[in-house]
Amino acid sequence: MQSEQRRLENRRALNKKPLWWFGGGIFALFIAALGFLYLRGFFRQESEYKISNVPSLKDNRFPLLVVSLSNALATSGRLTGFWVGADAIYDARLNAIRRAQRTIIFETYYITPGRRANDFAEALIERAKARVKVQLLVDEYGTNSVPDEYWQRLRQAGVEVRFFREFDWRAPLEYNSRTHRKLLLIDTQQALIGGAGVSDNWDGDPEIGDRAPWLEFEASYQGQIVSLLKGNFLQNWAYVGGTVDLAEGVSCPEPEPENKFYITNDTSTLSESTMRMLFQISFLAARERVWIGSPYFVPDSNTRSVLIQAKQKGVDVRVLTMGKKNDKPIVHFASRELYGDLLKAGVQICEYQPSMMHAKVALIDDGWISAGSANFDPRSYHHNDELNISTSNPELVKKIDGFLVDAWRTSRCLTYSEWQNRPFTEKIQGQLGLIFKPLL
């Protein structure tokens, strides 16, 4: 009888073991996730920038503040092109590449296999075979869907291809920090900057429900600004092991005093963010309007507070962001979780309807814009290499104004009551997204 009882007890113990293993595994994963968030600084107290008495855009001190507080580089140049939509943007890039006579420099975060990537490769290969020096710096994570054969074709033609921040087991957490820039330089004479990667997605992605081109723009510059942008590129080129050949020289055209531009090259740390400082002083300088375009709009409490302050002063504060047709639903829901205080204060938040909204820009009053690769989120503030051009150039201000006005015509603006009554499942997804917002 006792032996039978022992057998039953042993059987029960064996049956319990899988439950213990399962529970232990879940607990271990929880501890690992907690440890990862701890190492990433998730529990670190968010720093607050307290800034008062910011002069208006018309004050001569404002550009000096941009330079000194956001580490911006002051230069001169002129706007030579502005394109909206995938066809116009990619045609402009390909035409610029085909005109190159000496050098082509391109840095980007995102490339996927398809027609756009093939056209891009063919244009680079043709120029490389014509003995144009081609340097291609691509983000390792953002281009990991591209097969090795693609890069081999480029290299065989003479294109120098390097990957930014490949995974290193000796510093695994660094892999979360990417280059998010989109920069094309031709002969150190022309620079094209925008937010578009090299992908068929920008023509419309049926997988996310849109069949219209993504909302995007790109601008072209000439003048001294191009030489400084080349220097920005060479910093990352040296980092990935590329040779920085200074014998090539850097062109230095005569400055154009009436066409000032300011380059903010954000290679931030967790303790500071030049991009966040740039945006904050720009918003506080507003007297009439703050119009923001950002697909991944996940502003920290400091940025939200500044926008509410601007609204309380009578400034027209609007945000244009992505709607249901988007490539990152978790970011969309996390973003929506943060709308409450903004909507309650009267900030207008509108979601673009025809397709994915991907443009990144801030328009302040009628005299200041900042545009480039940076979003209003922790990743752009603290993790990515970003590149924005800021200027009071009236021609560009006018074009950005028209771009945003057109986009708002096909956008849907939320109300505070609508936000309060959003589905419970959406709230849960949003809260989960906010937990991992530094990784989004």
Within a domain: residue 279?
A: yes
pLDDT in tens, 253-274: 666 666 789 998 866 555 568 8
Residues 214 and 304 reside in one and the same domain:
no
Alpha helices in 213-273 (DSSP H): 224-239
Residue ending a domain, among 224, 258, 292, is 258
- DSSP-derived secondary structure for 93-142: HHHHHHH-SSEEEEEES-B-SSHHHHHHHHHHHHHHHTT-EEEEEEETTT
Residues 201 and 109 reside in one and the same domain:
yes
pLDDT of residue 10: 58
* 289 vs 57: CA distance, rounded Å: 12
Residues 253 and 361 reside in one and the same domain:
no
Residues 253 and 306 reside in one and the same domain:
no
84-110: b or e for each residue (b if 16 or more CB lie within 10 Å)? bbbebbbebbbebbeebeebbbbbbbb
pLDDT of residue 37: 60
Within a domain: residue 7?
A: no
* 38 vs 45: CA distance, rounded Å: 12
Half-sphere exposure of 404 (CA within 13 A, CB side): 25
Residues 138 and 159 reside in one and the same domain:
yes
pLDDT of residue 26: 72
Residues 157 and 274 reside in one and the same domain:
no
Dihedral sign from CA coordinates of 293, 68, 383, 161:
positive
Contacts of 375 (CB under 8 A, 6+ apart): 294, 295, 296, 297, 298, 360
β-bridge mates for residue 412, sequence order:
351
Residue ending a domain, among 258, 293, 324, is 258
Residues 358 and 250 reside in one and the same domain:
no
- The answer to whether 279 touches 386, Cβ cutoff 8 Å, is no
pLDDT of residue 259: 78
Within a domain: residue 11?
A: no
- The answer to whether 117 touches 199, Cβ cutoff 8 Å, is yes
- The answer to whether 323 touches 333, Cβ cutoff 8 Å, is no
Q: For 6, phi and psi rounded to 5 degrees? A: -65, -40
Within a domain: residue 108?
A: yes
167: left (phi over 0), alpha (psi -120 to 50) or beta: beta
* Strand order across the 217-222 sheet: 78-84, 217-222, 190-194, 183-186, 103-108, 133-139, 160-164
Residues 300 and 404 reside in one and the same domain:
yes
pLDDT of residue 177: 81
Within a domain: residue 162?
A: yes
Alpha helices in 272-328 (DSSP H): 274-285, 301-312
Within a domain: residue 278?
A: yes
Contacts of 274 (CB under 8 A, 6+ apart): 70, 71, 72, 264, 265, 266, 268
Q: How would you classify the pairing of strands 103-108 and 133-139? A: parallel
Within a domain: residue 253?
A: yes
Residues 303 and 407 reside in one and the same domain:
yes
In which domain, by residue range, is 143 found? 80-258
The structural domain count of the chain equals 2
pLDDT of residue 87: 97
- DSSP-derived secondary structure for 334-353: HHHHT-HHHHHHT-EEEEE-
Residues 426 and 280 reside in one and the same domain:
yes
Within a domain: residue 16?
A: no
Segments in the chain below pLDDT 70: 1-25, 27, 30, 32-47, 248-258, 266-272, 438-440
Dihedral sign from CA coordinates of 19, 21, 22, 27:
positive
pLDDT of residue 18: 59
Residues 219 and 134 reside in one and the same domain:
yes
Residue ending a domain, among 240, 258, 276, is 258
Residues 239 and 98 reside in one and the same domain:
yes
- For residue 61, what is the domain's CATH number? 3.30.870.10
